[in-house]
Structure 1
Amino acid sequence: MAYKSTGFPTVAGATSHPSRSLILNIPNEILHQIVGHLPTDRDVINLTLSCKELHDRILGPSTGIWRHRYEANYDIPEARSMDELGYEYKTRAIVLSQKMDFRSPRPTKGQQLWLEVIYTMLIESLAVSQKASGPKTYNRIREAMSQAKFLNRPRKPKPSEFTCAIQLCLTALALHKEVSEPCLRSEYELAIVYSFGSEPVGPYIPHENLDLTKILHIRSFWQRHLLELDEMTYYLTFSYLDEDHRPKMRKSYGIDENQLSSSWIGYYSCLHLESIPVTRAAFNKSSTQTCADIESHLRLDILSMNLHITNDPFWPAECNKIIPMYPDQDINRVFFQGMQGLYNQASEGNPVFGFTEPIAYPYGGIPGWTRICFAIIPDGNEEYSSDWLHGYEAILLPGGRIMLGRWIDLKNPTGRGPFIFWDVEVPCCSQG
């Protein structure tokens, strides 16, 4: 390709015309390839402003320039026309380029529009099958979260279901130290995190009228304690995890996204509620938020679980009394069993059994929420004669990779607290 004094390339096959700029003589196919390699959208627009003919040839309805740039940056959803993709691409380019400050207590119209764009990208990332080239849309979401600091301040005074749903679905990024930061203790109420003052009656994760704000309090608690070194609780063990064993939003290419994952790791937190001051205000102001910061308490390691699907619909009455199954007989409930041990430690472990229930309602306009319930019993105590029987009830977030909820001692319900588990595609441990 030789260059003349005009600054435009001479291309083999182009028909020269003395009264035309040389770039106008380039065939459309080659012109579109050149435009496709321009580094920014602004470069494309500047080129189209040169003359009307270039504008029509580059941005005409049949050129597909914006679809090409869309495909370079995002996953392509099904059943979307070229015009729709072009409009969506330009909308995202404009909105996501704006600086957002979510520290202010009152949301602005600009913030709402920004969230709506993030919502469309989130739906796209969850719905489009992963390709070997990687999750493009998810990477754009990650870039947006790194710049806007939306996840750093998860809770407004009265967050909407829409905002809570987006926050929860992006939990993997909220727990990523290169994307987010530890939130403040004021971002959650400890009394809500530990279900203080409430009787364990009925499902903690109901199918109808699920309180996403409650779950966001739990997520915020973990965002604080997993990312904040000064808390001196879970930070060190979490920070030592390699990338393969950190929380993710979506499963990788080639892995069945609808199948319950087999390998999980995570944490639980506890407090001796009988020793906590009786008032809710005193509970929230307590300097001790978890037994993990009490030296006399047993060291809290990272837990692990290996699970497998079973045809045995096992959920005994002692469990169902506090963690009841959803009454709908037609629900597609899936039962599983497994073993619970410690991260990267071979051990005999404790038996696990439980089930999942899909939730039909798309909270926040996002489908794919699932209720997961399971119990852990001491090894060798299948007859439930031990001093404890721990039941876990959580929401499995859309994408199927992170669960957030509450554990409770089914024999002594004063023992309870928050927990978080996430799946790992690379097995981390073995249980006997």
Structure 2
Amino acid sequence: MDRDTPTSTGAFYRLSIELIWAIAGRLETDKDLCAFRAVCWTTRNAIDDGSCSFWRSKFHVKYAMDNDATKPFYNAVLKKEYQHRAKWLKRGLALSFKDQGHSSRELKTLAVLRTLIIESFRGDQKELASDLHGRPLCPNQMALLNFLLGARTFPRVKTTASSPKRREYEGPNPELAAIRLMVGQLMFHTEAPRYDICYFEDSQRAVYEHWNRAPIFTGDGDLQVNMEWALHCFNFFRHHMVREDVNSLYDAMAALEPGDRPSAWRNQISQGRSIMSRHWKGTYSYLTHEELRRLRRDKEGSDEYFVDKNIDEGENIQDLTLDFKTKGEFTWPEGFETRLQSLRPTMALRKTRAQYRSSKTEEPPAPILVQGQGRDHDDTFFASGWLNPLAPQHGIPGWQRVTLMKHYDQGYDNILEDDLWAYEGVVLPGGRIMLGRWWYANDEPTDPDYGSYGGPFILWAVDSAPTFEPED
């Protein structure tokens, strides 16, 4: 008899459908499930029963779901969706992504990964898993993490300016960078892998590039996140955090409690403004003026090695408290605004047909005032700025633009006489990680060299309160 043809007799022939479901539900892989389904007609009919109840249960174990059984043919939809995800997650493991997110198979795999990101923490959350340190992960995040660990090249896609075999593509698909950036957050939930996401030399060159040649926000109205730059910034700091041989941040990060280390989003990501954690840790990096000039002149890359300052000794992880305010009278100095442009529009508003017929115009989401304190080399500093929501980026909602002015005088009376350092960055969906650029901001914005001296920073939300006592 053909081994793939189910038999009408055998060990499972007299088992009840509930018992067959129980056995199938304990199978760890989809490959084992397919083999079990093909054992005999009884197992096949039980798994493919008309109500598709088994597939509803299977979907609920592996993915987040709404539990809305009132929808017509809901279980059948779950069966189809489960099989679709299994198909493209399996195929995606073997993809080389040589077309840098442009080919049909690459796009279908990215679509499944994007769906898992958007639908994470949806519905009933009683089945939350946890990482090695007990931090919560929803089933979708576990599926993403398993894909990340099993994929051959996805975590280490080496993007270039143009695809060598697909000349019609104008560089890497930014959707690929956006999804790699989101999935990359889960790499902090496992002891492996230790490899870099991008070539570190490329990331180092990218994060120190002049702001007018590598802006964090691009496109019409500067409404699009420069995903390649953000991915390089993420890779730059992760390189210092997880690579023991680099002798920078590895020991300091290992000494932190699990709740104080970077982590991925912990709730369903949503569009619009959101108030985030009050407690943060972070760090920044810099080069000397001469090193910056040499690095920026070196466009093709060389063997010259640049030591990133401030994180080279592995001790400069800062504590920071941030308060988010949506109501009340706020003081925002004009000197801060001219240097940061914090209140510029961050979303393109589109009118509906009804709005075009009326005189009413949709109001943009109001920004959130951010005020906080931190410690830098035993000096207390203050941070003032704004949080603005961004439109969904490549189908993923929840991105935000953050701007902060770091100053050492708590008041705003003589701000231009203070030591000012500007920060601009992007908050990743879920509000757990900020990536961006700092620059020296005492110069006038009209100065041709304004913003030329700067570097990258990272902030991540933590569970514990800061080690210093914030001033009133």
Pair in the same fold by TM > 0.5: yes
Structure 1's unaligned 5+ residue stretches are: 1-18
Residue identity in the other structure for 2:206:
I
Determine the C-alpha separation between the residues in 1 that align with 2:341 and 2:216: 7
User: Structure 1 residues 43 and 425, CA, compared in 2 at 3 Å: closer, same or farther?
Assistant: same
Listed as ranges, the matches of 1:345-424 within 5 Å are 349-360=380-391, 362-380=392-410, 382=412, 383-384=414-415, 386-412=417-443, 413-424=451-462
Bigger radius of gyration, 1 or 2?
1
For the pair 1:58 / 2:47, whether they are aligned, the reply is: yes
Runs of 4+ residues deviating >6 angstroms: 19-22, 199-206
Give a deviation string over 1:58-117, Cα, whole Å, max 9, x none.
312304112211111221146572122212222333333457357674456554443332
Q: Residue 85 of structure 1 corresponds to which residue in structure 2?
A: 78
2:181 to 148, 168, 173: 168
Q: Residue 318 of structure 1 corresponds to which residue in structure 2?
A: 335
Q: Residue 310 of structure 2 corresponds to which residue in structure 1?
A: 292
Residue identity in the other structure for 1:291:
K
The structural deviation recorded for 1:44 is 3.9
Determine the C-alpha separation between the residues in 2 that align with 1:351 and 1:180: 36
Q: Residue 16 of structure 1 corresponds to which residue in structure 2?
A: none
Give a deviation string over 1:218-239, Cα, whole Å, max 9, x none.
1222232222233333232223
Residue identity in the other structure for 1:194:
Y
User: Structure 1 residues 204 and 291, CA, compared in 2 at 3 Å: closer, same or farther?
Assistant: farther
Q: Residue 282 of structure 1 corresponds to which residue in structure 2?
A: 298
**110-119 or 386-395: bigger deviation:** 110-119
- RMSD across aligned positions (CA): 3.5
User: Structure 1 residues 209 and 33, CA, compared in 2 at 3 Å: closer, same or farther?
Assistant: closer
**241-250 or 96-105: bigger deviation:** 96-105
Give a deviation string over 1:181-233, Cα, whole Å, max 9, x none.
24254562534312337389997896523321121221222232222233333
Residue identity in the other structure for 1:369:
W
Q: Is the 8 A contact 2:285 2:310 kept in 1?
A: yes
Determine the C-alpha separation between the residues in 2 that align with 1:131 and 1:281: 54
Q: Is the 8 A contact 2:177 2:231 kept in 1?
A: yes
Determine the C-alpha separation between the residues in 2 that align with 1:132 and 1:181: 29
The structural deviation recorded for 1:261 is 1.1
The structural deviation recorded for 1:376 is 1.6
Aligned sequence identity (%)? 24
User: Structure 1 residues 199 and 305, CA, compared in 2 at 3 Å: closer, same or farther?
Assistant: same
Listed as ranges, the matches of 1:329-348 within 5 Å are 330-341=364-375
User: Structure 1 residues 187 and 109, CA, compared in 2 at 3 Å: closer, same or farther?
Assistant: farther
User: Structure 1 residues 318 and 136, CA, compared in 2 at 3 Å: closer, same or farther?
Assistant: same
2:87 to 69, 94, 100: 94
The structural deviation recorded for 1:354 is 1.5
The structural deviation recorded for 1:246 is 1.4
The TM-score with structure 1 as length reference comes to: 0.80
Q: Is the 8 A contact 2:343 2:367 kept in 1?
A: no
The structural deviation recorded for 1:396 is 0.5
Give a deviation string over 1:28-48, Cα, whole Å, max 9, x none.
444433443344444443444
Structure 2's unaligned 5+ residue stretches are: 1-7, 130-137, 161-170, 346-362, 444-450
Q: Residue 136 of structure 1 corresponds to which residue in structure 2?
A: 139
Residue identity in the other structure for 1:266:
G
